[in-house]
Amino acid sequence: MLKSSVASESASERRSAGATPASAGARAPVSAGGASRLARSGARPFAFRILLATMAKNVEASGDFKVADMSLADFGRKDIELAEVEMPGLMSCREEYGAAQPFAGARIIGSLHMTIQTAVLIETLAKLGADVRWCSCNIFSTQDHAAAGVVKGNTANVFAWKGETLEEYWWCTAKAVTWPDASGADLIVDDGGDVTLLVHEGVDAEKKYEATKALPDPASTDNAEFKCVLAIIKASIERDPKFFTKMAARIVGVSEETTTGVHRLQVMADTGKLLFPAINVNDAVTKSKFDNVYGCRHSLPDGLMRATDIMISGKKACILGFGDVGKGCAQAMKAAAAITYVTEIDPICALQACMEGFQVVTLEEVVSIIDIFVTSTGNKDIIMLKHMQQMKNNAIVSNIGHFDNEIDMAGLEKSGATKINIKPQVDAWRFASGNQIIVLAEGRLMNLGCATGHPSFVMSSSFTNQTIAQIELWTNKSTGKYDKKLYLIPKELDEKVARLHLGKLDAHLTDLTKDQAEYIGIKPAGPFKPATYRY
């Protein structure tokens, strides 16, 4: 299914991925920097504007993309322009780094929810000189107007639509990592680690093929998703037995967005299997304490209400896990006047929940009385079939934490329960007893499957970290600064990201005097906290 260049595919091949065929009508190329806006602003010299215009890709005319509906592009552009106003960190990056074009010559592959907010990140990377290709990291999270808007803007080759099958999802990932000249990327923006996984598994399979001539066998695993990965790698080896090996050698590094992806990277780093440097964006304070807490506090109730129109007030909600994501979710349910319970394995997090006024329980203690279940642990096998069978009629079961294995969807599908689709990403599952439960987004991230994810302002904080991490990796590609290890964004840059967002909220910092700074042993301009400080 994977081709080295979409331009060489027939129309029937492009349609075979299963999405609405994308329009490939001709369109004059536009500059990655938006030449007309730059001209009006006077922020860039004329020669620089001409350079941007000549560097622009003609994505739409090339046909090297796959989205649901190009007629949504104008809607997408309007929404992107609204989001830009709410994303001061990214807009500041464009202003600060635009003239220098730090990504000149860089190929960036992104695997991250293809939302309006991600569109602003994509266009920031492109405006800083990158050649960008993109896919989503979740089969339900793409906003189709955002994907179309990016393609129409000629800033990235996008392969994403809402409601992909697993086979389509991995096809999109493979298309995004393969440039038209049949080579790969220099940098990865990852969310959950799927591109990083694909590259590492590809390298391992190519080594095995070189030694034994044995191709990967999708039938060797029962995991539906890993079957797709093996199929992609098998097809790749048949075309070029060194594709992933060559790409791994040219990759400068990856910046990772999520807890799960960071965990994967840490395991690879600890075992010496990591093939390139990695920056942990997730644990930047301006990501984990903002996106994870405040973003989920906003998007959990949004997803619940869009999916079910349920009145949250007075209902009993159980938040499974009280990490940063769980804290935001519990705050949201409490603010909506739900009676909120928390489950936890960590005594520190459990004590925090108690001190915030939440009852800490085991799932088994409350499973039969809860109206709204929300998993937020980052682990697997949290709500199992036996729990779902004990739930009250029309209990809502949802996940905001990790892929699709916090909830035992496989067990539910094999249980004999009848699946009744109510609307996209909202399903009733009726048991033989007559009771039914409402499952959101098939156990995947409900805030993106049933709503639009986190709001622009909080994503500006996360994505400014991503942009800075990518600049850090690319500009140090020849310095030896980064080894094949996992690194955290420096405190100075973390504070910079926060500072870039204060003006939008009309916040005014107090200046530290020289004497005060000396008294507590820091510089007047920061960093203001030691690395050990727990915000």
For the chain, residues with pLDDT lower than 70 are 1-56
pLDDT of residue 56: 67
Closest CA to 115 of 252, 295, 238: 295
Residues 117, 83: contact at Cβ < 8 Å? Answer: yes
* β partners of residue 134: 110, 158
Q: CA 205, CA 409: separation in Å to the nearest integer? A: 30
Residue 34 is assigned to a ligand binding site: no
* β partners of residue 205: none
Residue 287 is assigned to a ligand binding site: yes
pLDDT of residue 37: 32
Residues 196, 247: contact at Cβ < 8 Å? Answer: no
Catalytic residue among 23, 31, 136, 143: 136
Is 200 an active-site residue? no
Residues 21, 32: contact at Cβ < 8 Å? Answer: no
Helical pair 116-127 and 456-475, crossing angle rounded to 10 deg: 30
Residue 259 is assigned to a ligand binding site: yes
CA angle 478, 482, 485 (to 5 degrees): 145
How many Cα atoms sit within 13 Å of 463 on the Cβ side? 34
Is 228 an active-site residue? no
Is 282 an active-site residue? yes
Q: Helix and strand tally (H, E) in the chain? A: 24, 15
**Tokens of residue 51, six digits:** 């350079």
Q: CA 435, CA 433: separation in Å to the nearest integer? A: 6
Catalytic residue among 101, 117, 141, 143: 141
Residues 128, 97: contact at Cβ < 8 Å? Answer: yes
pLDDT of 192-237, one tens digit each?
999 999 999 999 999 999 999 999 999 999 999 999 999 999 999 9
pLDDT of residue 402: 76
Task: Provide the b/e sequence for 362-374 (b: ≥16 CB within 10 Å).
Answer: ebeeebeebbbbb
CA distance readout (Å), 524 to 274, 498, 499: 38, 16, 14
Is 296 an active-site residue? yes
Is 263 an active-site residue? no
Residue 257 is assigned to a ligand binding site: yes
Residue 210 is assigned to a ligand binding site: no
As a 3-state breakdown, the chain gives helix, strand, coil percent values, each rounded to 5, of 50, 15, 40
How many Cα atoms sit within 13 Å of 217 on the Cβ side? 6
- The DSSP 8-state label assigned to residue 290 in this structure reads I
Residues 501, 291: contact at Cβ < 8 Å? Answer: no
CB atoms within 10 A of CB 78: 13
Catalytic residue among 296, 329, 349, 450: 296
Residue 191 is assigned to a ligand binding site: yes
pLDDT of 135-158, one tens digit each?
999 999 999 999 999 999 999 999
DSSP codes joined into one string, 228-252: HHHHHHHHHHHH-TTHHHHHHHH--
pLDDT of residue 481: 96
pLDDT of residue 42: 37
Catalytic residue among 66, 175, 287, 289: 287
Residue 377 is assigned to a ligand binding site: no
Beta strands in 65-209 (DSSP E): 107-111, 131-135, 156-159, 187-190
Distance between alpha carbon 282 and the CA centroid of its chain, in Å? Answer: 11
Q: CA 354, CA 223: separation in Å to the nearest integer? A: 38
Residue 295 is assigned to a ligand binding site: no
Closest CA to 175 of 375, 6, 408, 407: 6
* β partners of residue 486: 278
Residue 323 is assigned to a ligand binding site: yes
Catalytic residue among 162, 175, 402, 501: 402
Catalytic residue among 462, 465, 496, 501: 462
Residue 381 is assigned to a ligand binding site: no
Is 291 an active-site residue? yes
Residue 400 is assigned to a ligand binding site: yes
Is 421 an active-site residue? no
Residue 419 is assigned to a ligand binding site: no
**Tokens of residue 267, six digits:** 């395991």
Catalytic residue among 454, 461, 470, 472: 454
Is 288 an active-site residue? no
CA distance readout (Å), 92 to 10, 122, 291, 397, 420: 42, 15, 19, 40, 47
Catalytic residue among 123, 144, 186, 257: 257
**Tokens of residue 38, six digits:** 């730059």
Q: CA 348, CA 522: separation in Å to the nearest integer? A: 30
For the chain, the farthest-separated pair of C-alpha atoms sits apart, in whole angstroms, at: 73
CB atoms within 10 A of CB 436: 19
CA distance readout (Å), 160 to 19, 67, 139: 9, 5, 8
pLDDT of residue 403: 74
Residues 406, 363: contact at Cβ < 8 Å? Answer: no
Q: CA 508, CA 476: separation in Å to the nearest integer? A: 34
Residue 375 is assigned to a ligand binding site: no
Residue 240 is assigned to a ligand binding site: no
